[in-house]
């Protein structure tokens, strides 16, 4: 970086004048700041805004959230994805309520010990809420500093976080929280991945990649993650005017959420009947084929209508169609349900 002695001043001056209005920037309540940071991981700001406001309206403080069931809390997260985030957040809030008298710990090490809190969340919440001088390094910060220093360090390396945290700390001013927010704001709105707005960048004169004309070559990410594809047969099983659902395991992907019964794509009908302890009539052709994308995983699903007159036993559950909204379904299953409702009407 060139002229790094004035970098933080230039960046903060721009941030104070141009920062976007966001509801979590209107508070210093560490609970609300923490919530916003958890929501913003893997999710766009425009999507988070309404979820955040609705969540805070229902759970305005730590005590309210701690006393609420995870099933209800998860309903207010439905559609945001990455559901381990809300489960960990809820567990951590309960620990804050019981062990710290409902006060978010101001000590960074104590805060880091809470469930689901990693180095990024620690740095963001502790700096924004309490102005601790800690780095909050995310993808935006990797990109900004890769370009500022024309640095080809592989951001997928296990050493990348420490490498870029050191760069942030070398130029961090006393206004640590504002500085971390400014870096993220710069990466999100100006120093973007594919079409950076270098012409209006407030720290362009500090940028070595701009000077050397290779901004779009940075950051460097050498690893390519292969997406796993899993194929499933999903059954919408009707009994009279009810449908069958099941709950996913308590750990792993989409833990404890509800879904329609799912089987590997080549599972034979007799094996499904044996597993479910049901006599089934399954239609020959799927009424819809759909897919759902996770970060490193794709579900490809063939959805079949099916019918039974058998008694339904645990772990399967019969529900009225109108009651579907009381259960916590992932987006993939909600989309299937909506297609089913359209199909039968």
Element (DSSP H or E) covering residue 290: strand 288-293
Report the distance separating Cα 300 and Cα 283, nearest Å. Answer: 19
Report the distance separating Cα 39 and Cα 121, nearest Å. Answer: 11
Annotated active-site positions, please? 37
Report the distance separating Cα 242 and Cα 249, nearest Å. Answer: 23
The pair of three-digit structure tokens given for residue 296, joined into one six-digit string? 């490193």
Q: What is the pTM of this model?
A: 0.77
Q: Residue 112: which of 125, 128, 97 has the closest Cα?
A: 125
* 154 DSSP assignment: B
Torsion of CA 15, 18, 205, 209, to 10 degrees: 90
Report the distance separating Cα 338 and Cα 214, nearest Å. Answer: 47
Distances (CA, A) of 142 to 84, 188, 190, 257, 276: 24, 12, 14, 34, 49
Report the distance separating Cα 294 and Cα 301, nearest Å. Answer: 14
* 193 DSSP assignment: S
What domains are defined for the chain?
4-217 (1.10.340.30), 228-344 (3.90.79.10)
Token pair 């400014």 is found at 182
Report the distance separating Cα 166 and Cα 19, nearest Å. Answer: 25
Q: Residue 69: which of 59, 60, 79 has the closest Cα?
A: 59
User: CB 86: neighbour CB atoms within 10 A?
Assistant: 22
The partner residues of 187 in beta bridges, in order of sequence, read none
> Residue 343 has what pLDDT?
83
Question: In tens digits, what is the pLDDT along the chain, a chain of 345 residues?
Answer: 887 889 999 999 999 999 999 999 999 999 999 999 999 998 999 999 999 999 999 999 999 999 999 999 999 999 998 899 999 999 999 999 999 999 999 999 999 999 999 999 999 999 999 999 999 999 999 999 999 999 999 999 999 999 999 999 999 999 999 999 999 999 999 999 999 999 999 999 999 999 999 999 999 999 766 789 999 999 999 999 999 999 999 999 999 999 999 999 999 999 999 999 999 999 999 999 999 999 889 999 999 999 999 999 989 999 999 999 999 999 999 999 999 998 887
Quick check: 187 and 203 in contact, CB under 8 A? no
The pair of three-digit structure tokens given for residue 197, joined into one six-digit string? 């707005």
Angle, CA 48 vertex, CA 326 and CA 58 arms, to 5°: 45
User: CB 249: neighbour CB atoms within 10 A?
Assistant: 10
Quick check: 238 and 306 in contact, CB under 8 A? yes
């Amino acid at each position: 970086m060139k002229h790094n002695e004035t970098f933080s001043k230039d960046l903060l001056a721009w941030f104070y004048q141009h920062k976007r209005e966001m509801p979590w920037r209107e508070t210093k309540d560490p609970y609300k700041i923490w919530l916003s940071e958890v929501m913003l991981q893997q999710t766009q700001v425009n999507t988070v805004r309404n979820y955040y406001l609705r969540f805070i309206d229902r759970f305005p403080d730590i005590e309210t959230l701690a006393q609420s069931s995870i099933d209800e809390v998860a309903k207010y997260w439905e559609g945001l994805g990455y559901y381990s985030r809300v489960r960990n957040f809820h567990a951590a809030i309960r620990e804050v309520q019981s062990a710290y008298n409902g006060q978010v710990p101001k000590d960074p090490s104590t805060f880091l010990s809470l469930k689901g809190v990693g180095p990024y969340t620690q740095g963001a919440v502790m700096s924004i809420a309490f102005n601790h001088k800690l780095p909050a390094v995310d993808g935006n910060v990797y990109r900004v500093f890769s370009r500022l220093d024309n640095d080809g360090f592989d951001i997928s390396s296990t050493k990348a976080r420490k490498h870029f945290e050191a760069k942030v700390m070398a130029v961090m001013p006393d206004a640590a929280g504002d500085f971390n927010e400014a870096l993220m704001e710069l990466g999100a709105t100006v120093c973007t991945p594919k079409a950076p707005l270098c012409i209006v960048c407030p720290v362009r004169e500090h940028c070595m990649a701009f000077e050397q004309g290779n901004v779009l070559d940075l950051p460097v990410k050498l690893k390519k993650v292969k997406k796993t594809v899993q194929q499933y047969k999903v059954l919408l099983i009707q009994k009279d005017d009810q449908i069958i659902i099941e709950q996913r395991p308590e750990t792993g992907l989409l833990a404890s959420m509800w879904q329609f019964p799912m089987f590997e794509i080549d599972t034979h009908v007799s094996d499904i009947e044996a597993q479910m302890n049901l006599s089934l009539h399954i239609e020959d052709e799927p009424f819809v084929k759909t897919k759902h994308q996770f970060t490193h995983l794709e579900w490809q699903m063939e959805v079949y209508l099916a019918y039974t007159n058998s008694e339904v036993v645990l772990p399967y559950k019969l529900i009225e169609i109108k009651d579907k909204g009381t259960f916590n379904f992932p987006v993939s299953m909600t989309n299937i349900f909506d297609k089913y409702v359209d199909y039968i009407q």
